Amino acid sequence: MATINQQILLASRPEGEPSADNFKLVEKPVPELAEGDVLVRNQWLSLDPYMLGRMNEGKSYAQPQPLDEVMIGGTAGEVVASRNAHFQVGDKVVGMGGWQQYQLVSGAQRGVLQKVDTARIPLSAYLGAVGMPGVTAWYGLVKIIAPREGETVVVSAASGAVGGAVGQLAKARGARVVGIAGGPDKCAYVKDELGFDECIDYKPLKDLKSLSTALKAACPKGIDGHFENVGGLILDAVMLRANAFSRIAFCGMISGYNGEPIPMQNPSLILVNRMKLEGFIVSEHMEIWPEALKELGTMVATGKLKYRESVADGLAAAPEAFLGLLKGRNFGKQLVKLY
C-alpha cells in the first residue's frame, strides 16, 4: 500500500494580512523510488518570517511561492528509504523539504540534502541555532556590525531565533548587548537566560520619545551596532541614539511585512553620524557558512549558545503557528513537530 504524504499548499495570495484561508491541506501518495532517489520523513518544519514575502507577488529578493504548490520551508528529518549510495536509511538530514511530511529527492538533485550529526546537537537545532537563523545572526554581527570589545550592540526581536543568537555572539566578542523584545517574560528570558546586559520591553513604549528615552538609559555610551529585525519606530529610536561610525545590519523589517510603507523619520542622521547601513540575505553568502556553523555548533554542543523553541504539533497546525509568528506570539524559534 502506498505511503500517504500530507502537504500544505499555497491556495491564494494574501490581500493585506495573511490568513489560514491562504493555505490548503492535501494528501497525495508518495511515488515509488527510482534509482538514485531518497525518501525523507520530515520530523521538523521551520517557520520563518521570510515566507510571507514569498507568498506575495510583489518585488522581493526571491521568486514568489507558486500557487497550488507545497509551501517552501526548511526541514529536518530521517531517511526512511534510499536507492542512493550516498544516503542510508536512518541518516539524519536537513534541507528545504517544505510544508509536508515526506520529501522525495531525485538522484539528479545534488546538494539538496545535508547529513547532520545529532550526537551532541539536537536535530531541531539544525533549523535554528545551528541552521539558517544562526548563520543569519553570525553574518550580520560578524561581517556587518563587527563589534569591538566594549562597544554597545542593540538587537531588535531579541528573544527570537536570530536575535537571541546575535546577542550571545556579541557577548562572546566582549560587547555590551541590549535587547528589545515584547513583554516582561521575553525580556526576562533575554537577560536571565541569554545573558544580555539589558532588555527593553517595547510594548508599553508607544512613541518615539519614550522608546528613545529607554534606549538612552540602557545605552549610556550610545549605540555602536544594531541588528534590525523590525524597522519602523524601533529603527527611528536607535538612529537617535547611534554613535558616529555606527553600523546597522538589516535582516528583517517585520513591521512592514503586510505591505505598509515604513518611513524613516531622520535619514539625515546617516550622514551626520557617517553610519553604515547594509541589508543582507544569508543565502547569498554561502562562502561563510562553514566558518559560521563551526562556531555555532561548538557553542551549542558546549552549552555556550542557548536557545528556546516554540513547537506546534502536527502539519495541520502550521498555518496558525505561522500567523502567530508574524504577530510575535512565538517564544524563540518557531517549529512544527511532524512526527
Contact present, 210 and 138 (Cβ < 8 Å) = no
Residue 274 structural domain: 132-283
Do residues 109 and 14 share a domain?
yes
Q: How far is residue 250's CA from residue 273's CA, in Å, rounded to a whole number?
A: 17
pLDDT averaged over every residue in the chain: 95
Q: How far is residue 252's CA from residue 154's CA, in Å, rounded to a whole number?
A: 15
The per-residue pLDDT for 60 is 67
Torsion angle of C-alpha atoms 265, 267, 268, 272, degrees rounded to 10: 120
Tens of pLDDT, residue by residue over 19-33, are: 999 999 999 999 999
Average of pLDDT values for 236-251? 97
Q: Please determine, for residue 52, whether its predicted confidence score (pLDDT) is greater than 80.
A: yes
The residues pairing with 196 across neighbouring beta strands, listed in sequence order, are: none
Q: Please determine, for residue 110, whether its predicted confidence score (pLDDT) is greater than 90.
A: no
Q: Please determine, for residue 275, whether its predicted confidence score (pLDDT) is greater than 80.
A: yes
Domains in the chain, number: 2
Domain-embedded: residue 136 = yes
DSSP string, 70-109: BPP--EEEEEEEE--TT--TT-EEEE---SBSEEEE-TT-
Q: Please determine, for residue 256, whether its predicted confidence score (pLDDT) is greater than 80.
A: no
Do residues 198 and 143 share a domain?
yes
Do residues 122 and 142 share a domain?
no
Q: In this predicted model, which residue has the larger pLDDT, 60 or 51?
A: 51
The per-residue pLDDT for 258 is 65
Contact present, 201 and 184 (Cβ < 8 Å) = yes
Do residues 123 and 160 share a domain?
no
Q: Name the percent of the chain lying above pLDDT 70.
A: 98
Contact present, 333 and 128 (Cβ < 8 Å) = yes
Tens of pLDDT, residue by residue over 117-164, are: 999 999 999 999 999 999 999 999 999 999 999 999 999 999 999 999
